[in-house]
Amino acid sequence: MTTPSVDRLPAGPASSRTTPPPGAAVPEEAGPDPRLTDGVLAGYAGCFGCGEESPHGLRLRRTGHADGVVRAEYVVQRAHQGAPGLAHGGVLATAMDEMLGWAAWLLGRRYVTGRLETDFLRPVPVGATLHLRAWCRGVDGRKAYLEGEGRVGAPDGPPAVRAAGLFVEVPREHFTKERMN
Ligand SMILES: CCCCCCCC(=O)SCCNC(=O)CCNC(=O)[C@H](O)C(C)(C)COP(=O)(O)OP(=O)(O)OC[C@H]1O[C@@H](n2cnc3c(N)ncnc32)[C@H](O)[C@@H]1OP(=O)(O)O
């Protein structure tokens, strides 16, 4: 069991559907299983969140993981605007989805987002670097409960976004059977 050493924001966005039930353990971080990172799944270059081949994608850059917490940086691009000069909320939610997904996959199993809840705490300007981190709060059968946050300008900068999510473990076929190409 690991307990992420995270300086958590006071009130999270979690509803009952993204809160682990009592007794749900936080597993040891397994590290991404090489069998999961086969180019089709984790690390996919076409991924809108992290892929280098996605022209207007977020291109999240992972900066490390330790003690069950995964960290990344995201620089807000002009293509990510909602209001002029400010990041679109849906784009920020995407960044959090990606982060929570990474934290889930570090458990060594394949997960997809079932539910994502997001709080937007302050606007994030184009050109700003968002320092992101995410961690697991517990696993209950196929369900993993993740949490994360993004801070502007520095890892201890002002919080701009936070999220809680319920991820569901799926078999490999999930990613192949309904693919269009
Ligand atoms: C490295 C990779 C990074 C990836 C980062 C990006 C992650 C993503 O964005 S993934 C893409 C977005 N997500 C998707 O496309 C998922 C689409 N949905 C699905 O495929 C299915 O609905 C799926 C797999 C989530 C669940 O379906 P299924 O496998 O039939 O499981 P199901 O029996 O319905 O649910 C399993 C459990 O999860 C719970 N659950 C499922 N969905 C939700 C939900 N939205 N809210 C709360 N609980 C839920 C169920 O209640 C059930 O709980 P219990 O076991 O206690 O009864």
CATH of the domain at 101: 3.10.129.10
19 lines ligand 1 (CB under 6 A): no
Task: Note the pTM of the prediction, 2 decimals.
Answer: 0.91
Among candidate residues 37, 32, 36, 58, the one with its CA nearest the CA of residue 47: 58
Number of domains in the chain: 1
Residue 24 lies in a domain: no
**Ligand 1 contact via 113 beta carbon (within 6 Å):** yes
Structural domain of residue 167, as residue ranges? 29-175
**Is there a domain that residue 18 lies in?**
no
Q: Ligand 1 pocket, 36 CB below 6 A?
A: no
Does 115 fall in a domain?
yes
Q: Establish whether residue 167 lines the binding site of ligand 1, counting it when its CB lies within 6 angstroms of any ligand atom.
A: no
> In sequence order, what are the residues at sequence separation of 6 or more whose Cβ sits closer than 8 angstroms to the Cβ of residue 90?
82
Q: Ligand 1: which residue has its CA nearest to atom 3?
A: 101
Q: Which position has the token pair 């892929």?
A: 51
| Ligand 1 lined by 82 (C-beta under 6 Å) | no
16 inside domain = no
Q: Is residue 117 part of a domain?
A: yes
Residue 156 belongs to some domain of the structure: yes
Residue of the nearest CA to atom 53 in ligand 1?
A: 143
76-118 residue pLDDT tens: 999 999 999 999 999 999 999 999 999 998 998 999 999 999 9
Show the tokens assigned to 93.
Answer: 């939610």
Other Cβ atoms within 10 Å of 88 Cβ, number: 15
Query: pLDDT tens digits, residue range 124-170?
Result: 999 999 999 999 999 999 999 999 999 999 999 999 999 999 999 99
Report the distance separating Cα 145 and Cα 81, nearest Å: 29
